[in-house]
Structure 1
Amino acid sequence: MERDDEQVLDYPIPAPSALEPPAEWERLRSRCPVARVTLPSGDEAALVTRYEDVKGVLADPRFSRRLTGEGAARIAANESGGVFNSDMAASVPDGGEGHQRWRREVGKWFTAKRMTALRPGIRDMAERLIDGMVEAGAPADLKAHLGFPLPVWVICDLLGVPESDRDRFSYWSDTLLNLTRYTEEEVSAAQEEFFAYMSAHIGRRRTDPGDDLLSALITGTAEDGGRLSDAELVGTGMGLLVAGHETTANMIGKMVAMLLSDRGRWERLLEERRLVRTAVEEALRFDANSGIGLPRFITEDTEIGGETVPAGTTVMCAMAAANRDAGAFEGADTMVLDRLPNQHIAFGSGAHSCLGQALARTELQVVLEALLDRLPGLDLAVPAAELRRVEGLAVGGLATVPVRW
């Protein structure tokens, strides 16, 4: 098989537009399944892009999601290295019984039953936000009016923190997800503030518990008799606040933009509302702008893609590239709204797959249903090629989503 082992790519790999994948993905999957890349920090890593390889690495319990060990690559272009190298990443157990206990306790709040109970409230909030967007008039930024505030409201309610602090949460989240946007001084100061805020919030919940996830973790009795430590509680609160709004807020905007970029997709959903669920899953699979992916630190020599990757290597798992693998999905580069089955790995795979994926799916489905009902004439206010990516963060998104109706 022809390949160029000496080429080292800058990562993330540039794409022709905000909704299109890098052309390099196809070459890498076919000719260089384990590629050498340079991260924003300047450190080197191995990039995997094939579906089976990415899924296999993410699901392998031998490999650590923490990049705090000796020899692990720094991701971001600041001294601390970013979210994957942070103290927050180290505060939640990485594996074994400790991680299973943490997922059991936190996962109780993300069951299908709870999502069903949350759905009417999410729909009501979506309706109110759409009303506000319509009142403001077209063209409007759907991300600012709906995509961002809805997930923030949901996760703030879930954690029992005031929605009025959302601008601070947004800044703190961005600094934690920094690749190239913020200096080391800005990141350090913001994270100290974020840690102090969450520690104080948990302290208040100890004396005045509410009907929220963190209060339940503090006051409840774990099934195995062990409660979460203070560090685990703070890390859980910070992690859920970041993941619970940043990724979903961006995905709402990208989903709507993908559906509107080809008017036939939107029109089909207007005619066949039963496709909302499969359309959401296909948007997750088809998303070419999901961010930097997930890293794993390889702790022993491992075979990936037919070659040996030495211990001490940081592997970047490009889930978005894997989700466009023609070996795993028929018509991988076509958005198929009724695709079934759809075993995409947008939420990761294995023991560390996204804990809040049921909540993200619920929010995406509710938003899409509400927009189809309320604004059937919704359209992009600019050509899709003019949409701009979020830059400098570990998550992918659109800077704005200008729409009219």
Structure 2
Amino acid sequence: MSICPVTGQTSAGHPETTSSSLDAPLSYPLERPGPLEPPAEWETLRQECPVAPITFPSGDPAVLLTRYDDVRQVLSDPRFSRVGEGSAKITNSETGGVFNRSTASPLPQTGEGHQQWRRMLSKWFTAKRMAALKPAIAAMADRLIDDMIKNGPNQDDSRTDPGNSVDPGDAVDLKAALGFPLPVWVICMLLGVPDSDRDRFSHWSDAFLNLDRFTDDEVATARQEFHTYLLGHVRSKRADPGDDVLGTMITDARAAGTELSDEMLVATGLGLLVAGHETTANMIGKMTAMLLSDRTRWEQLVADPSMIRTAVEEVLRMDTNLGFGMPRYLTEEVELSAAAVPANTTVICDMSAANRDQQIFTDGDTMDLTRSPNPHLTFGAGPHSCLGQMLARTELQTVLEVMVRRLPSLELAVPTDQLQPITGLIVGGLQTVPVRW
């Protein structure tokens, strides 16, 4: 039985224990052997060192959680937020990205203030609103696939990385043609901004999700550009709120006899941009690649589209590259996997690793498109769970329904191991998804 160096305790709770042990903090993020494969350390960590010492790119120490119960416990605890005075820095960047303290500061991070902010937003992400939005998403997906078919494999798009391009006579980049434009169209609609600004939104989103791709000056410039753009948009909304997310928040606050600050509305717009664009754009590409990596999965969906809902949930569970993971700052001591984790510790909740915990998911490393129930943690848990998860599910299910109907012969144009992961950003994804049909 191995000993975990962060606690000095033997592993507990998971009966299958391997003979290897960890003798030093791991550099985080962990490396992956392939674009769709999990890090080799996950299983060992879950069995032997579920509360593992890690080192961020900044050099700051933190702790990595890989067991389902631990991850769910911390994510569900309303006391803990992603940032706090004394929390570990992810990078040495002073400007930071989405986890930077100044980015989050206009929004209440815990307590009743946080819940009140969520309630103001949640009315936009109800099942009723998503059902009303679905036909428009399907129509946009159809139009984008029309363009894919019309333009064929000679499509050219600046979002395709030339370093990873395939022969344009052989493939279309599905991420550039469909995965990127669909979510950005949706988020522009929700924010009430022109779809013609989508390329600017994409650049700003990348910069806010920076790990080591952009310099401090580039991130600072993007932050200032976005702030100036959205501040002007917020001020125009005060004069004419309209029926979009920010306009509705302004109207509701006035009805309650208050006014929301410019900075709170700008920070809300930033959160919607990051959560509603980049993550979903990447997930459409990853979902397609995962389903096509074993084409019998795609054929199952073509034969029986009623499986699409459970298939989307299983793809979300099986995604090995959700990105950096969710940081939480412990303001008091917490017991996790029989280990006392002290206050003032920064932990990373690795939802991808937790989603494969064999104690929760039978054959957790096997994709089962009919798996139900499927209590994965991809969208988090508790008071900080993803507000836009209903929107993400609606987009993923809708785009998959349209693809299966319109492109039943779809296949990857390159071997799976030739797909290139995104690097340098907190979010995980693939640079391109070359396909043909």
CA distances 1:338-357 after superposition (whole Å, capped 9, x unpaired): 00000000000000000000
In structure 2, relative to structure 1, the CA distance for the partners of 1:281 and 1:274 (3 Å cut) is same
CA distance in 2, matches of 1:228, 1:98: 12
1:19 has 2:51 as partner:
no
CA distances 1:232-287 after superposition (whole Å, capped 9, x unpaired): 11110111012110000000000010000001101111111110000000000000
CA distance in 2, matches of 1:245, 1:359: 11
CA distance in 1, matches of 2:387, 2:105: 17
How many residues align? The count is 403
Q: Match for residue 288 of structure 1?
A: 320
CA distance in 2, matches of 1:278, 1:301: 38
8 Å CA contact retained: 1:285, 1:345: yes
- Tell me the SS of whatever aligns to 1:220: helix
Residue type of the partner of 2:372? L
8 Å CA contact retained: 1:105, 1:222: no
Q: Match for residue 54 of structure 1?
A: 71
1:311 has 2:328 as partner:
no
Counterpart of 1:110 (choices 125, 140, 162) is 125
Residue type of the partner of 1:110? F
Identity of aligned residues (%): 61
Q: Match for residue 250 of structure 1?
A: 282
CA distance in 1, matches of 2:90, 2:201: 22
CA distance in 2, matches of 1:123, 1:251: 17
CA distances 1:33-77 after superposition (whole Å, capped 9, x unpaired): 11111112221110000000001010011212224x1x2111134
In structure 2, relative to structure 1, the CA distance for the partners of 1:262 and 1:111 (3 Å cut) is same
Q: Taking structure 1 as the reference length, what is the TM-score of the superposition? A: 0.97
Residue type of the partner of 2:63? A
Unaligned runs of 5+ in 2: 6-22, 154-170
Counterpart of 2:102 (choices 75, 87, 101) is 87
1:41 has 2:58 as partner:
yes
Q: Which structure 2 residues correspond to residues 185-204 of structure 1 after superposition, within 5 A? A: 185-204=217-236
Q: Match for residue 163 of structure 2?
A: none
Range with bigger deviation, 221-230 or 176-185: 221-230
In structure 2, relative to structure 1, the CA distance for the partners of 1:401 and 1:59 (3 Å cut) is same
- Tell me the SS of whatever aligns to 2:409: coil
Counterpart of 1:75 (choices 66, 90, 101) is 90
8 Å CA contact retained: 2:172, 2:435: yes
Per the TM alignment, residue 225 of structure 1 is displaced from its structure 2 partner at its CA by 4.9
CA distance in 1, matches of 2:323, 2:81: 20
CA distance in 2, matches of 1:227, 1:28: 48
8 Å CA contact retained: 1:74, 1:80: no
1:208 has 2:225 as partner:
no
Q: Which structure 2 residues correspond to residues 87-236 of structure 1 after superposition, within 5 A? A: 87-138=102-153, 139-221=171-253, 225-236=257-268
CA distances 1:108-139 after superposition (whole Å, capped 9, x unpaired): 00000000000000000000001111122131
Residue type of the partner of 2:53? R
Output the aligned Cα RMSD: 1.3
Q: Match for residue 3 of structure 1?
A: 3
- Tell me the SS of whatever aligns to 2:99: helix
CA distance in 2, matches of 1:240, 1:198: 12
CA distance in 1, matches of 2:199, 2:274: 12
